[in-house]
Amino acid sequence: MDTGRVMETVILAVVIAVVVLGVLGGLVVGSRRKKSLPPPPPAAPDITAPPAEPHVGDEAETPRDEPRRTIEEVDLPDGSAPPATVELPPTEIEVPEPTAGRLVRLRTRLSRSQNALGKGLLTLLSREHLDDDTWEEIEDILLTADVGVAPTQELVDGLRARVKVLGTRTPDELRALLREELLKLVGTEVDRTVRTEPDERKPGIVMVVGVNGTGKTTTTGKLARVLVADGRSVVLGAADTFRAAAADQLQTWGERVGAHTVRGPEGGDPASVAFDAVKEGKEMGVDVVLIDTAGRLHTKTGLMDELGKVKRVVEKHAPLDEVLLVLDATTGQNGLVQARVFAEVVDITGIVLTKLDGTAKGGIVVAVQRELGVPVKLIGLGEGADDLAPFEPEAFVDALIGD
């Protein structure tokens, strides 16, 4: 073999070796790259995930419901992390606190009423001589706490009679006696359940009414959480169409617990939004539809008529299960005047007393029930999402007079 042929053979061998190595190397790199990739997205579309956002490299006209391209099909720029198919985390749905025992958890929020009413009464009743002046002071305490004139008289008469029988009084005896008399006043026999039971044809329907700023929207949102916590499905109706912000506010509450909000155009007819909410609730097969309404002064006849209309229109579907009047506990006796007018226009079936955390006037619970003959069903004890509690007379009275 001459040197020329030898050189040719060597060069050929080197070229073959380089090609083989190159192919092998490519395979290795390729398989490494594949291994380091995250698994492809599941075949079935995830209905809890938000709609896919457009990404760089997507074609503008690609329909959103087309099957997603898998990572392998996307050109990867030199092995770096794939940019095109990053999944957005689904909107986080909160799990609200259970409702049982909420009032016990929130009892310290009643501290202002507790100091003014509970402790005040116990201190006076513990005096050695319960003379007329002391009984008058007891009356004053009750009146200042907004218990109302007639209930105050009843309580004082009851206490006087029982203290006389008792003779000497130990603090424990006094506490037990006061507890019993207060419970009598608040009422332990009434049914305070918020009626939200669906029947097979329709969801439970609840409408929330009241004057401006009492806490209607907040209460509707908190109530949705209470229901969700108890395993119910909820649709919200934003029948406050005065301000778009009102519907936004309600929708935000709904989104937090995964409840759908039905809303209408700003300035639209609240009755038709309420009607649609129940319609959608029925179609979706949810358990409860909660309708938030705009705040209105009880003195504005036009607005009160409008509220009556909302109720009548909703009742084309079915009777309302609950009409909850939201009263701000800090407004005291003025709340009673409002309550009377609202009760005339829409039959109130339950009262929600809000902002009991910010007042010493817990006695309003007694007064308002007397005024309307309608039970307090829920109480608001703060601005937090789970600061709405079912009203339980025993827990309430215990909180007032302390342990």
Ligand X SMILES: Nc1nc2c(ncn2[C@@H]2O[C@H](COP(=O)(O)OP(=O)(O)OP(=O)(O)O)[C@@H](O)[C@H]2O)c(=O)[nH]1
Site for Mg ion, rule CB under 5 A: 216-217
Identified binder of ligand X from the candidate list 246, 259, 271, 290, rule CB under 6 A: 246
Q: Which helix (H) or strand (E) holds 389?
A: strand 388-390
Please give the Cα distance from 221 to 95 (Å, whole number): 14
Instruction: Say how many C-beta atoms besides its own lie within 10 A of residue 128's C-beta.
Output: 7
187 contacts ligand X (rule: CB under 6 A): no
Residues 151 and 185 sit within 8 Å (Cβ to Cβ): yes
* DSSP-derived pairing of the beta strands 204-209 and 350-354: unpaired
Please give the Cα distance from 97 to 233 (Å, whole number): 16
From residue 194 to residue 213, the character string flagging contacts with ligand X as x (rule: CB under 6 A) and all else as - is ----------------x-xx
* Smallest distance from Mg ion to CB 327, Å: 14
Of 11, 100, 113, 21, nearest to 396 by C-alpha is 113
Please give the Cα distance from 328 to 324 (Å, whole number): 13
Q: Which is nearer to ligand X, 159 or 208 (CB)?
A: 208
Angle between helices 393-401 and 171-186 (to 10 degrees): 140
Q: Which is nearer to Mg ion, 261 or 369 (CB)?
A: 261
Instruction: Say how many C-beta atoms besides its own lie within 10 A of residue 215's C-beta.
Output: 23
Of 307, 302, 354, nearest to 327 by C-alpha is 354
Residues 401 and 178 sit within 8 Å (Cβ to Cβ): yes
Q: Which does 57 bind (CB under 5 to 8 A by kind): Mg ion, ligand X, none?
A: none
Identified binder of ligand X from the candidate list 114, 152, 241, 354, rule CB under 6 A: 354
Q: Which stretch binds ligand X (CB under 6 A): 4-12, 28-36, 130-138, 377-385?
A: 377-385
3-state DSSP of 292-344: EECCCCCCCHHHHHHHHHHHHHHCCCCCCCEEEEEEEHHHCCHHHHHHHHHHH
Please give the Cα distance from 4 to 40 (Å, whole number): 55
Nearest-CB residue for ligand X: 295
Identified binder of ligand X from the candidate list 113, 114, 196, 214, rule CB under 6 A: 214
Q: Which is nearer to ligand X, 216 or 256 (CB)?
A: 216
Interaction residues for ligand X, span 292-331 (CB under 6 A): 294-295
Q: Which is nearer to ligand X, 214 or 261 (CB)?
A: 214
* Smallest distance from ligand X to CB 220, Å: 8
* Smallest distance from ligand X to CB 354, Å: 4
* Smallest distance from ligand X to CB 236, Å: 13
266 contacts ligand X (rule: CB under 6 A): no
398 contacts ligand X (rule: CB under 6 A): no
Identified binder of ligand X from the candidate list 113, 114, 152, 217, rule CB under 6 A: 217
* Smallest distance from ligand X to CB 219, Å: 6
Which residues are near ligand X by CB under 6 A?
A: 210, 212-218, 240, 246, 294-295, 354-355, 357-358, 380-383, 387
